[in-house]
Every structure is written in structure tokens, then in C-alpha cells.
Structure 1
Amino acid sequence: MPSTADIQIRDPFVLPLERSGEKLYYLFGSTDANIWGKGTGFDAYVSRDLHAWEGPHPVFRPPGDFFAEQNFWAPEVYEDGGRYYMFATFRRKDNGLLGTAVLAADDPLGPYAPHSDGPVTPKEWSSLDGTLHIDQTGQPWMVFCHEWQQVGDGEICAVRLSLDLKYADGEPQLLFRASEAAWATPYVSPRYPDQANYVTDGPYLFRGASGKLYMLWASFIDNKYALGIASSASGSVQGPWQQEEKPLFRRDGGHGMIFRTYEGGLMLTIHTPNRTPDERPIFLPIEERDGRIVVLTEAE
């Protein structure tokens, strides 16, 4: 059985799920050996202790008429009514832009098949890392990134979804731009050496025990990957969003999410380092203290 240190994965996402009396953790993420090229699909792993893992299990392989061939990224899986919904990013064949689509399956290990008719993010936008948020009225939203390569100053946006999660039910709303965070610095890409951009990556929303709504999201500090956190002043996905002055994790890791362990504690998972093929998942215990998220231990 592979250990956590053996698993090459980006954008880790954990779904705790009790099945047949067993308390299991399902780990999803970007699992192609080279996620920057042709997409193979997504694999998943299963663990009882977040250390030893069964897998890889192939959970998605694209059908022949699938809308994308490149860049299969950041799958997140949610259970609803006995079905499992995967939000994942793909590069469209028709216009070469990124978009987040919804897949579905009857089992957490798939096989997942297209649920939405292609991406539910705007067709003419380069959009990625869509995450599901259900607000306090039961309305589903997708929160996603409007890519920095298209807009310069990367954006985090939100759009209402239909109740069946098949399409966007309204126009996207801008929540904030990357440059609004004091900790984020311009990212200089080898592809764009003469311009400095601000990156938004990997949003994930989490409501604390206090009722406060938090958002994890990633960017860069001096061209090193980092994870920041914001909170909604209104408690709603529509904000306004207030950025923490300092990042939550700054040592070349990010694209995180939070889940509750079977022991009752909160756990943050991210990938680090942010380079292929060395990226690995790590798990960091966290707490909510006085309206803030605090990491309790550093990564080994």
C-alpha cells in the first residue's frame, strides 16, 4: 500500500465517508504524471488513517466525445442524495480555454461521467478550480478563478448554480482580486517575462463553528506558491471578503481544503512542493480561534 509520501498529486481533496461500517477517507486530486499536457483522467486513493492508502483507483477516464483532451485538474467530490458530484477543470478543445465542469457517479470511486453539458463557467472566460458552496438557504454556488493569464490580476468569482448542478443560473459575480491581499506578490512567469501578474488559485469555502465563512485560496510570494485565507464580513458567499494580512502557509505549498477527521479535529490538506513531479499531499491539524484559522503543527 502506498504511503502519503509515495503519492504524486496536486490539488488534494479529501472526502470522509463511512461505508459498510468503515470510516474511510477518499483522496482525489490532479493525478496525471504530467498535468500540464494531455489528460489521462483522475485516480483516487482510500485510507483509514491518512497514512497508508489503497489505490490508485481509476475514477474518471474521458469518453471518446469528451470536450477536452488537455489539462485535467483539481477534482473535488461531494455527496448528495446518494450520488457523487465531481467538480473538475479541463481545457476545452473548441477554444483552448479552461473551464470547470460537473461529473457524476453512483459510487465515490466512480466511474464518473459528464453531468453538465461541458463547463458551467463562462465559455469565453479562462476559468479554473471551481468549488461547490451551498449557502444557508440551500442555494448551490460555484466559486472559481478567472485566470490571471486572461485578466492579469487574477479574480475569484461566484455564480449561482441550478439545483441539479447542471448549469449556471445567472451571471458571475466578482468577489475579489488577488492584488487585494497584502501577502500576495506579483508572479513573473517564464511565458510572460515582461509583465507581472497576480495569481488566484484553488478557492475552497469553509464555515467555522463560530458561523464565520472562510475562504482558502492560493497565490505566490516572490514566485513561491502560498496559501492565504479570507473571511466574509456578511457571512455570505457574496462578501465583502476581507483578506488576512499574512498567509496561512508560505513554504511552496497550497491549493488546500479543510475536512473534519473521525476524531473530531479539523485538518488542512495541501500539496507541496509546487513542482512536477515532486508534489505530494500533506495534512496539517488546524483550529478556529477567535475568528481565525490557525495551523497547529508545521509540515514534516
Structure 2
Amino acid sequence: MLKKNDIRIRDPFILSDRDSNTYYLYGTTDENVWNGPATGFDAYKSSDLKNWEGPYQVFRPDAGFWADQHFWAPEVFYHSDQYYMFASFKADGKCRGTQILISDNPLGPFQPLTEEPVTPRDWECLDGTLFIDEHKNPWLIFCHEWLQVHDGEICAVRLASDFKTAIGDPIVLIKASDAEWTIPVRGETEYVTDGPFLHRIQSGILLMLWSSRSARGYAVGIARSLTGTIDGPWIHEEQPLMDEDGGHGMLFKTFKNELMLTIHTPNQTPNERPVFLLVEEQNGKLVVII
């Protein structure tokens, strides 16, 4: 058995399977996440978030797969009796994109749903996540990367019901510099967005967790939709939810029905570890308790 401090992982994501009383932990797991050839994605499983089994090889590309580097931030969702993985991939001469993979098992093996990413092929994109709206329509929420647009954006595009294609053009939900707490990562006008995750609180308010750089380092902020719908408008909370060199957050419910936040911290390779923090809703806002 492993403890969470034994698991080196970036961009942690938890899938809770209540039928089997099992938590599945996914994330960026390659030894060299920034340079060199990519290997794939590994996952871990646990019944208590303390003792973990693994790693399990959940994705390894076949010889014809288009990408060979920067295999980042896999997220796995159970939808229509299948498991779908949303993950970022990159190759020389090709833009980074979010590709969707599919499996009938949470531990894979996952196979690409299509030959190409679902994000625009001339956009540098990353950190795609799934959102199902009030009409049961699926949406891809993703980052349009600061390396291309300078002021990083988080965008949304409708997905076809089979997740194979995008419907229409992406819309911009937020820009990183719009938040009061962000600072540039380079120069005076270059701001990062990464790790979007949408969550509707008990009052019906739709929140978006996302990460950027604050004066204290890597941080998780929150934006909220004034309409409760994906197209907003979105406003930023003045202060980040977490501001202690940890980020790329997502929320999940434990089997005790507790709301938990997971992030990786610190944000320095190779020391990243998953962290699980209890969160409560207080007066329409999220507050980290532990």
C-alpha cells in the first residue's frame, strides 16, 4: 500500500465510484513532464483516500498516436455507461490540444475516441474538462494557452452527444488578468490560466475553479456565473481560494458526502504530491476547512 505522499503526481483528479466504494486518482504521472518523449498516464485506487494501490497503466499510446510529449492533466468521467478521459497532448509542429479517450473500465485501457483533439487545431489548448448543462448538453471547458494569446483564457464549446466533435465556435468565459489576485508570469501582460473545473453549489450558483499565479505563487481562484449558466457573465472573487503554492484544483464528494478539494503541492518538479482538503459552503461561497 502507498500513502499519498508516496505518489508523485501533478493535476490530480478523483473519480468516486460509489458502487465499488473506490476512489480513482488520475493525473500527470510521467517522470519528465516538461521535456522528452511522453510515456502515458498511470492511476491509483483507494477506499479511504489514505491507502492507495497502484500505479495502474491506464493509457499507453499506440504507434500511430499523433502526440509524443506533454501528456498532461487527465480527467475521467462516467457518462452513458462509459468512462471518458479528457487529457492534453502535444507534438512538435502541432498545437497542444484536448483529446477525449474512452474505456469501459475506470482503470482502462483508454483508447482515443477520435484521431484528433476536439479543441481547435490552430489553438494551443490544455486542461479540458467536462460540464453537463441544465439541458443535459455536454460542454468542453478548456484553456486557450497564454503562450499563444498572452492573456490566458478559459473557453467553452458545445460537444456532440457522442463527444466526438465540437458544435459551433468556442466562447471565452474569462481572461486571467480580469481577476484582481493574478500577476503576470512574464513581462507585464502575460497571464496564465489552467485547471478549470465547474461546480454548482447547493444554492444553484455555478462556480468555476481555475489556477494562475498570485503574489504568493501558484493559486486556485474562483469565478461565478451571474446567470447560473455556462455563458455567464462570469465574475471573479477578489481573493483566491488557495494561495500557498498549490493548484490545479477539482472538487469531489466523499462516500460520507463531504465536499473535498484536491490540488497538487508544491508546484516544483519532482516534489508534487496530491493533497485532499475538506471544503464547506458558507453563505454562497466555498471555504477550505482542513
Alignment deviations for residues 206-263 of structure 1 (CA, whole Å, 9 cap, x no partner): 1111111110000001371111011100000111011000000011100010000001
Aligned to 2:55: 56
Aligned to 1:67: 66
Q: Is there any run of 5+ residues in structure 1 with no aligned partner, and where? A: 189-193
Could you say what secondary structure the match of 1:277 adopts? coil
Aligned to 1:237: 230
Pairwise CA distance, 1:29: 0.4
Aligned to 2:253: 260
Pairwise CA distance, 1:196: 4.6
Paired with 2:272 and 2:83, the residues of 1 have a C-alpha distance of 26
Which residue, out of 173, 176, 179, partners 1:175?
173
Paired with 2:51 and 2:197, the residues of 1 have a C-alpha distance of 25
Aligned to 1:35: 33
1:114 aligns with 2:107: no
Structure 1 223/122 Cα, relative in aligned 2: closer, same or farther at 3 Å?
A: farther
Paired with 1:106 and 1:186, the residues of 2 have a C-alpha distance of 42
1:28-177 pair list within 5 angstroms:
28-37=26-35, 38-93=37-92, 95-177=93-175
Any conservation in 2 of the 1:186–1:222 contact (CA below 8 Å)?
no
Pairwise CA distance, 1:97: 1.6
Alignment deviations for residues 157-200 of structure 1 (CA, whole Å, 9 cap, x no partner): 00000000011111000111000000111112xxxxx5651110
Could you say what secondary structure the match of 2:166 adopts? coil
Paired with 1:117 and 1:236, the residues of 2 have a C-alpha distance of 31
1:204 aligns with 2:197: yes
Any conservation in 2 of the 1:42–1:60 contact (CA below 8 Å)?
yes
1:266-277 pair list within 5 angstroms:
266-277=259-270
Aligned to 2:271: 278
Pairwise CA distance, 1:117: 2.8
Any conservation in 1 of the 2:216–2:244 contact (CA below 8 Å)?
no
Paired with 1:176 and 1:227, the residues of 2 have a C-alpha distance of 14
TM-score normalised by L of structure 1: 0.94
Alignment deviations for residues 125-144 of structure 1 (CA, whole Å, 9 cap, x no partner): 00000100000001100010
Which residue, out of 194, 200, 212, partners 1:219?
212
Paired with 1:123 and 1:45, the residues of 2 have a C-alpha distance of 31
Percent pairwise identity: 54
Could you say what secondary structure the match of 2:255 adopts? coil
Pairwise CA distance, 1:92: 3.5
Any conservation in 2 of the 1:92–1:99 contact (CA below 8 Å)?
no
Could you say what secondary structure the match of 2:5 adopts? helix
Paired with 1:178 and 1:254, the residues of 2 have a C-alpha distance of 15
Could you say what secondary structure the match of 1:150 adopts? helix
Q: Which amino acid aligns with 2:15?
A: L
Q: Which amino acid aligns with 2:280?
A: E
Alignment deviations for residues 31-73 of structure 1 (CA, whole Å, 9 cap, x no partner): 0111112210000000011011000000000010001000000
1:8 aligns with 2:18: no
Q: Which amino acid aligns with 1:9?
A: I
Any conservation in 1 of the 2:151–2:189 contact (CA below 8 Å)?
no
Paired with 1:196 and 1:230, the residues of 2 have a C-alpha distance of 20
Q: Which amino acid aligns with 1:63?
A: D
RMSD: 1.1
Aligned to 2:17: 17
Any conservation in 2 of the 1:231–1:242 contact (CA below 8 Å)?
yes
Runs of 4+ in 1 over 2 A off after TM superposition: none
Q: Which amino acid aligns with 2:278?
A: P
Any conservation in 2 of the 1:75–1:86 contact (CA below 8 Å)?
yes
Aligned to 1:191: none
Paired with 1:97 and 1:222, the residues of 2 have a C-alpha distance of 30
Any conservation in 2 of the 1:11–1:29 contact (CA below 8 Å)?
yes
Paired with 1:172 and 1:162, the residues of 2 have a C-alpha distance of 13
Could you say what secondary structure the match of 2:63 adopts? coil
